[in-house]
């Protein structure tokens, strides 16, 4: 997941992105004394999609790692979204979830869950007036508040729950008075109704509108917290098995979808436009790099701003060859309740894995596990990766340079 969805999705207009669009830069430093058996470097490193400069830089780093690190202390860190894959695995899942109405939120709790605490007099720099804060405008240019969208969505979701969600996913709600349909309507029938059409547009407007509600400072605490948690509110109430199944199905669908975004407009009294990003692609060159690193006794880690469970599934999905073990994945982590259901509440005393939090993972977890050494390699694509990239001292930094106008480390 990336801060600033609206500023990046508009650039997606291709059906395949090659790793050769990226830039490799070698960082020089004195070699540290080390030990270990020399690796066989007679075969040059080559990622088929990368230019010669990239391949030469990584080949040199692999060769030099023998002297730079003692055996078992070398490691590499990767971002995931738009670094290991083109596209965002959690953002693209939103459209898949809406298309299949794959929800477990009881309708009596929908407002509370989606309000993210702002319905309890919470206000901050991002949402200064709580649920009464303006989060955007409608198609006529009039202000729309957080509460306007929430209230309208509650009515749409209640109908969708009654006619499809309750029976299809066995979602119980003791606090809801009306009896759901059993058997439910077909999904095709439901999607023809105006309640679904309006829900689809307004939900995207709300989710991605809140994700962009950070003003000019994307590093402020409220901006990071909203962006890292707003999408996960839609996952509330799912068991781990249900969530992992949805992730796998979403990834399969998005790997086959065109890259881009889908735009929808609601046609009721609240006329707003919502856009969903769609499409994922594998960066084959990154798989090649990961494999070469492991073959040279360099451990591979992923530090991602997507939810932990999403990256775990992506890292081991059948048909892909990333092969990153769950123990080597650090994503945004959430709590599960006593019934094993997803709460969308952040795990306490664990860094939010964006920006400074990524570097904190390196300092708090990875360096102590590797004789206090810095990573030999880091790969990222956005401003949320800058602090992680800066942890490299004597290796290679790889920048997937998709943000051409950026003035920070991604340029």
Phi, psi of 380 (to 5 degrees): -155, 180
Q: Is the pLDDT of residue 14 over 50?
A: no
The number of angstroms, rounded, from the C-alpha of 95 to the middle of its chain's C-alpha atoms is 14
Each residue's pLDDT tens digit, 261-274: 999 999 989 999 99
Mean of the pLDDT values across residues 2-21?
A: 29
**How much of the chain, in percent, has pLDDT values that exceed 90?**
73
**Which pLDDT score is estimated for 129?**
93
Q: What is the pLDDT of residues 175-194, one digit of tens each?
A: 999 999 989 999 999 999 99
Query: Any idea which residue has 């997803």 for tokens?
Result: 342
Report the pLDDT averaged over residues 375-380.
Answer: 96
Residues 210 and 348: their CA atoms lie apart, in Å, by 22
Architecture, CATH, for domain 5-87+282-399: 3-Layer(aba) Sandwich (3.40)
Q: What is the pLDDT of residues 305-326, one digit of tens each?
A: 999 999 999 988 756 778 899 9
CB-CB contact of 317 with 331 (8 Å):
no
Res 44: pLDDT: 81
Percent of the chain at pLDDT > 70 equals 86
User: pLDDT tens, 106-165?
Assistant: 999 999 999 999 998 889 999 999 999 999 999 999 999 999 999 999 999 999 999 999
pLDDT computed for residue 345 by the predictor: 97
Question: Is the pLDDT reported for residue 201 higher than 50?
Answer: yes
Residues 152-165 as b or e (16 or more Cβ within 10 Å = b) = bbeebbbbbbbbbb
Ramachandran region of residue 27, left (φ > 0), alpha (ψ -120 to 50) or beta?
Answer: beta
Phi, psi at 293, each rounded to 5°? -60, -50
Residue 5 pLDDT grade (very low, low, confident, very high; cuts 50, 70, 90): very low
| Residue 49, pLDDT score | 76
Mean pLDDT, residues 6-31: 29
Query: What does the pLDDT average to over 216-224?
Result: 83
Band (pLDDT 50/70/90 cuts) for residue 212 is low
Average pLDDT over residues 192-215: 89
Supply the pLDDT for residue 25: 35
Q: Where are the domains of the chain?
A: 5-87+282-399, 91-278
Q: Phi and psi at residue 86, in whole multiples of 5°?
A: -85, 125
Question: What confidence score (pLDDT) does residue 168 get?
Answer: 97
Question: What's 93-142 look like in SS3?
Answer: HHHHHHHCCCCCCCHHHHHHHHHCCCCCCCCCCCCCCHHHCEEEECCCCC
Pairwise CA distance, residues 131 & 127, whole Å: 8
pLDDT of residue 316: 81
Angle at CA 68, nearest 5°, toward 399 and 303?
Answer: 40
How far is it, in rounded angstroms, from Cα 188 to Cα 200?
14
- Cβ partners under 8 Å of residue 386, min gap 6: 355, 380, 408, 409, 410
> What pLDDT is stored for residue 143 in this prediction?
95
Per-residue pLDDT at 226: 94
ω into residue 183 within 30 of 0, thus cis?
Answer: yes
pLDDT for the residue 51: 83
pLDDT of 47-95, one tens digit each? 877 888 888 999 999 999 989 999 999 999 999 999 999 999 999 999 9
Mean pLDDT of the chain: 87
CATH 1.20.1440.320 fits domain 91-278: yes
- Is 280:86 a contact under the CB 8 Å cutoff? yes
Query: Under a CB-based contact definition with an 8 Å cutoff, are residues 365 and 374 in contact?
Result: no
Answer yes or no: is pLDDT of 23 > 60.
Answer: no
- Tell me the average pLDDT across 244-270: 96
């Amino acid at each position: 997941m990336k801060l600033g969805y609206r500023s990046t999705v508009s650039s997606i207009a291709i059906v395949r992105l090659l790793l050769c669009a990226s830039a490799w830069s070698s960082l020089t430093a004195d070699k540290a004394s080390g030990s270990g058996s020399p690796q066989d470097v007679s075969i040059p490193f080559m990622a088929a999609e990368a230019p010669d400069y990239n391949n030469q830089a990584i080949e040199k780093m692999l060769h030099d790692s023998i002297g730079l690190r003692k055996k078992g202390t070398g490691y590499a860190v990767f971002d995931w979204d738009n670094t290991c894959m083109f596209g965002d695995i959690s953002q693209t899942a939103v459209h898949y979830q809406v298309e299949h109405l794959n929800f477990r939120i009881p309708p009596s709790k929908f407002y509370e869950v989606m309000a993210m605490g702002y319905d309890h007099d919470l206000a901050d720099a991002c949402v200064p007036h709580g649920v009464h804060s303006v989060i955007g405008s409608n198609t006529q240019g009039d202000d729309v508040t957080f509460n306007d969208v929430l209230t309208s969505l509650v009515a749409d979701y209640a109908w969708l729950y009654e006619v499809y969600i309750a029976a299809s996913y066995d979602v119980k709600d003791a606090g809801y008075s009306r009896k759901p349909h059993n058997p439910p309507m077909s999904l095709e029938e439901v999607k023809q109704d105006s309640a679904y059409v309006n829900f689809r547009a307004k939900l995207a407007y709300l989710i991605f509108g809140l994700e962009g509600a950070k003003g000019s400072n994307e590093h402020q605490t409220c901006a990071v917290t909203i962006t890292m948690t707003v999408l996960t509110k839609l996952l509330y109430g799912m068991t781990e098995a249900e969530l992992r199944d949805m992730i796998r199905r979403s990834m399969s669908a998005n790997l086959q979808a065109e890259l881009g975004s889908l735009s929808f407009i609601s046609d009721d009294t609240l006329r707003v436009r919502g856009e969903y990003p769609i499409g994922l692609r594998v960066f084959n060159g990154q798989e090649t790099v990961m494999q070469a690193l492991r073959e040279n006794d360099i451990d591979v880690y992923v530090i991602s701003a997507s939810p932990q469970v999403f990256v775990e599934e992506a890292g081991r999905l059948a048909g892909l060859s990333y092969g990153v073990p769950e123990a080597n994945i650090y994503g945004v982590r959430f709590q599960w309740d006593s019934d094993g259901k997803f709460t969308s509440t952040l795990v306490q005393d664990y860094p939010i894995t964006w920006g400074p939090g990524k570097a904190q993972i390196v300092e708090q977890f990875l360096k102590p596990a590797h004789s206090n050494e810095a990573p030999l390699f880091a790969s990222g694509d956005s401003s949320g990766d800058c602090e992680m990239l800066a942890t490299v001292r004597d290796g290679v930094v790889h920048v997937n340079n998709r943000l051409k106008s950026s003035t920070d480390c991604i340029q």
